[in-house]
Chains A and B, each alone.
Chain A
Amino acid sequence: MVELDHPFSTSKPIAESWQAILDLERLVPCVQGGRVIEKTGPDSVKAEIKVKMGAMSMTFTGTVSVIEKDDSAHRAVLQVKSREAGGQGHANADVVFALADGGGTVHTAAQITGKAASMGEGVVVSVLDGLIKDFTGKLAAL
């Protein structure tokens, strides 16, 4: 299990950011290589993400769903469940967003298996860290 914390800042009002985070069709493309394949429910989408790890590139397909949301505290938990083509790897994560005025925090707890995990936790952490940093940068503009 890899756990990472990232802060982010935004000039948008909190209500606007809150709506943006819960809109998965807007949120998912903010992850580099991520795209929504179809909306499967009010709070869930089918999505895929292409990730490059060194010389390897992998495509994970799965679901992203909002499993908890607290409108008053502006706290939401998104669950990612995905697997690589052929079932040769999994990437699952719980992502907790906590918003405040002017920004917020993202807590990621990810479970990676398969080829990616074999690269070692160091590589997994640095790739994931890079992805989320890039993501939080885009959140600011969302």
Chain B
Amino acid sequence: MAAQAGELMATGEERLIGFGRMKRKEDARFIRGRGRFVDDVQLPGMLHGAMLRSPVAHARIVSIDTSAALAHPRVHAVITGKDLEARELAWMPTMSLDRQPVLATDKVRFHGQEVAFVIADDRYSARDALELIDVEYELRPAVVHVRKAIEPGAPVIRDDQPGRRDNHIFSWESGDRTATEQVFEHAAVAVEQEMVFPRSHPAPMETCGAAADYDRVSGKLTVWCTTQAPHAHRTLFALLTGLPEHRIRVISPDVGGGFGNKVPVYPGYVCAIVGSITTGRPVKWMEDRSENLMSTGFARDYAMKGKIAATEDGKILGISVDVIADHGAFNAAAQPAKFPAGFFHLFTGSYDLEAAYCRVRGVYTNKAPGGVAYSCSFRVAEGVYLVERLVDCLAHELELDPVELRLRNLIRAEQFPYRCKTGWVYDSGDYERTLRKALQIAGYEELRSEQARRRELGELMGIGVGFFTEAVGAGPRKHMDILGLAMNDGAALRVHPTGKAQLGISVQTQGQGHETTFAQIVSEELGIPAQDIDVVHGDTDTTPYGLGTYGSRSTPVSGAATALVARKVRDKARIVAAAMLEAAPEDLEWVSGRWTVKGDPEQGATIQEIAMAARGPIELPPGVEAGLDAETVYDPPNLTFPFGAYVCVVDVDPGTAKVTVRRFVAVDDCGTQINPMIVEGQVQGGLTDGVGIALMELIAFDEEGNCLSGSLMDYLIPTAVEVPDWETDYTVTPSPHHPIGAKGIGESATVGSPPTIVNAICDALKPYGVRHVDMPCTPARVWDAMQGKGAPPQ
């Protein structure tokens, strides 16, 4: 069997059975350029679509003249909002129960909004024809700043909603307001800090797109789509178009990065579908880089006023925060319905305190919709940023070492399961152990001495420490749903007679390595080599129903389903083995991939032998069906709570204010690790995201609401040049309620690294009396802070 392992398997990283380092099975095709993405889909007679977008942030559409575009010899159709209105398709529901235009009818409400869709023989002609469409806009004042958006008298963006007079979407609170106020009243120390987690963008390598093929004879619609949630999208397409769900097949082939950007349904997808239905031919639409940055699911955009109360010796008593959340022109945040601010109320972080309270107000502005993306774990990123900055601000005021302050307040190992003040029950943790490990790897004491020496020389060296707790694996069906769909996931395992297996899962890899880790879970449970297990995903016709991959939920939810379905197979195999061995099932025990007779290990059958027997002529007990196949749906009893301790060292150039991340130590605890190499890869990727968010990434707007970040020249993302060699390590604290103890790792580093880096920058700027700098910490913004002129980004 070893000989069948792919030639890419490296010595020392080859592990045939169970958990452990193993090179990713999917990489064989990726590194050869043989991945198959939506834009690789070519169908006979395929037409191509292109989207006309609004050049302004806020305007009434006076008229749209498509005649010149329609006269283009290679154009087949031009679709406008009016055409869709006739089919009742002009507006579509968002993931947050708001609605959003597929193509604008009355007004455009953000720069880059979809206005018309051209279908032509090729994408060049479709693009050319966009310039032949004449749209007359009557400009309206744009609402750009969140704080101005909620002022009385601000221009009303959503006048499509009857009776609306303001831009307020929701007010939501969590925690105990009265108790928190009392804590602040009696606290010896209270520190207040305003901070912005600015608007950033996931900017996946592959932009969004769809290829739709409607068969007029069978009535079947097949949509190849860049989606992180193919099953949920199938249901949405059914509800949206009125097509019966069993006649819709959504295929998510290889996906070139998602990070939450590919959770929403975008107008382009719907236009490709409508285009295929109207022309009777397949229609493909792929957005370009600018379209992706300007119009698709952005991240964060939280303006936060935080307060932290403590005793004089640094015991944290309470945290209170008031947030204004910029949701853009439509509330399209993709998160569990009951939580309009996602899991932001995890903002008490990793600390044991007496009271906490938050109020979040969501507002409309003339910007692209979205908000929950870029590996934020449903806004845990914003919560962790808030608390980790507040703790450092408190350390600054108390003149305490930030490590010492954290050690005095971290939740202690014996307190788990720990119910925090906003109601979450943290499953397991040993925070101090993880923090001490990170400090030891970093050489914290030595770093502080070095810093003192460098300060004498006028050099600006900063040491930042951060600790985070995440809540992932959404989620328990009684608490969590998206558009009425419970957040459960399925797994279907087919074991072929020769002992090879196929696992169907409902989650969708975008680069996380599902084809490897999920095979390893089955392998660990059944003793089948991972190479003998094919993991199938991304095709709604062939995989079980589930809500997809985002919020680090694949391993906590679908990974659990996979372990449980494998155990179902194992239980069935026991019955078959008993028949084979002429023993009672209860007299068998499972020993490394075999059911053996207790006390007589020679007497046994491997899973492969059992698989063949299960399909063979052997006589099975009454009521037992042939084969080992099984299926399951997993409803998690709670979320899982990965955590980690990070230490960052930065140097700030005193002359140019340029920040260089010199070292970064990350000690993560995601519970049981299935494949430590993939865990490491996820952490390295997330840390790189964190450097981008902390230092350079910003979706910026001018006063008129023009998006100024529509290219990778303007929206900077980090490269190998901007990041150090990551120093990663781990501790393992299994989740008590997950079948294999795994907690999920996908977003940990993206959540934990931005505050750690900003903590380091503020530490470096201590000689200038700087307590806080808002991200992105570009040289200009750091320079302003050094001059005492720091201001939040616009």
Contacts and interface: CB of A to CB of B under 8 A. Distances in A.
Interface of A: 1, 83-90, 111-115, 117-118, 120-121
B133 A86 contact: yes
Contact of B134 (A87, A90, A120): A87
Given A113-B56, A114-B56, A120-B714, A90 B139 contact: yes
Nearest to B708: A120
A86 B132 contact: yes
B151 interface: no
B135 interface: yes
A118 B134 contact: no
A83 B131 CA distance: 13
Contacts of B354: none
Contacts of B137: 83, 87, 90
A1 B144 CA distance: 13
B702 A121 contact: yes
Greatest chain B CB density within 10 A among A115, A117, A120, A121 is at A117
B55 A90 contact: yes
B399 interface: no
Given A88-B55, A89-B55, A118 B707 contact: yes
B703 interface: yes
A86 B55 CA distance: 10
Contact of A1 (B56, B703, B708): B703
B131 A113 contact: no
A116 B702 CA distance: 12
A113 to B, nearest CB: 5
B704 interface: yes
B413 to A, nearest CB: 51
B714 A115 contact: no
A134 B706 CA distance: 27
Interface residues of B, number: 23
A5 to B, nearest CB: 19
A124 to B, nearest CB: 9
B710 interface: yes
A92 to B, nearest CB: 8
Given A1-B704, A111-B704, A117-B704, A90 B56 contact: yes
Contacts of A88: 55, 131, 135
B136 interface: yes
Interface string B730-741: 000000000000
A84 to B, nearest CB: 8
Interface in B694-747: 702-704, 706-708, 710-711, 714
Contacts of B714: 120
Contacts of B711: 118
Contacts of B134: 85-87
Interface string B128-172: 001111111101000000000000000000000000000000000
Contacts of A120: 708, 714
A113 B704 contact: yes
A139 to B, nearest CB: 29
A113 B139 CA distance: 10
Interface string B312-326: 000000000000000
A56 B463 CA distance: 45
Contact of B55 (A1, A87, A111): A87
Contact of A117 (B131, B133, B136, B702): B702
A111 B707 CA distance: 14
A120 to B, nearest CB: 5
Contacts of B708: 117-118, 120-121
Contacts of B139: 90, 113
Interface of B: 55-57, 111, 130-137, 139, 290, 702-704, 706-708, 710-711, 714
B231 to A, nearest CB: 36
B69 to A, nearest CB: 9
A7 B379 CA distance: 52
8 contacts: A83-B137, A113-B56, A113-B706, A114-B56, A118-B290, A118-B710, A120-B714, A121-B702
A117 B703 CA distance: 11
A87 B56 CA distance: 10
B791 to A, nearest CB: 17
B140 to A, nearest CB: 12
Contacts of A115: 55
A120 B709 CA distance: 8
B131 A85 contact: yes
B136 A87 contact: yes
Contacts of A121: 702, 708
A97 to B, nearest CB: 25
A86 B131 contact: yes
B106 to A, nearest CB: 16
B287 to A, nearest CB: 15
Contacts of B707: 118
Contacts of A118: 111, 290, 706-708, 710-711
B81 to A, nearest CB: 15
Greatest chain A CB density within 10 A among B55, B57, B711 is at B55
Contacts of A89: 55
B55 A113 contact: yes
A29 to B, nearest CB: 26
Contacts of B55: 84, 87-90, 113-115
Contacts of A113: 55-57, 111, 139, 704, 706
B706 A117 contact: yes
Contacts of B702: 117, 121
Q: Which 8 A-B pairs have the closest CB atoms?
A: A114-B55, A117-B706, A87-B135, A88-B55, A113-B56, A118-B710, A89-B55, A120-B708
Nearest to B701: A117
Given A117-B706, A118-B290, 16 more contacts: A85-B131, A85-B134, A86-B131, A86-B135, A87-B135, A87-B137, A89-B55, A90-B55, A90-B139, A113-B55, A113-B57, A113-B111, A113-B704, A114-B706, A117-B708, A120-B714
Contacts of B56: 90, 113-114
Greatest chain B CB density within 10 A among A83, A85, A111, A118 is at A118
B775 to A, nearest CB: 19
Contacts of B130: 86
Nearest to B714: A120
Contacts of A84: 55
Contacts of B132: 86
A73 B708 CA distance: 40
Contacts of B131: 85-86, 88
A120 B708 CA distance: 5
Contacts of A117: 702, 704, 706, 708
Nearest to A1: B703
B418 to A, nearest CB: 48
Nearest to B112: A118
A120 B133 CA distance: 25
B476 to A, nearest CB: 44
A89 B55 CA distance: 6
A11 to B, nearest CB: 39
A118 B136 CA distance: 20
Contacts of A114: 55-56, 706
Greatest chain B CB density within 10 A among A87, A111, A113 is at A87
A86 B704 CA distance: 20
A18 to B, nearest CB: 32
A28 B512 CA distance: 59
A68 to B, nearest CB: 22
A120 B56 CA distance: 14
A84 B54 CA distance: 13
A1 B702 CA distance: 8
A84 B703 CA distance: 20
A88 B116 CA distance: 12
B372 to A, nearest CB: 25
B711 to A, nearest CB: 8
A85 B134 CA distance: 7
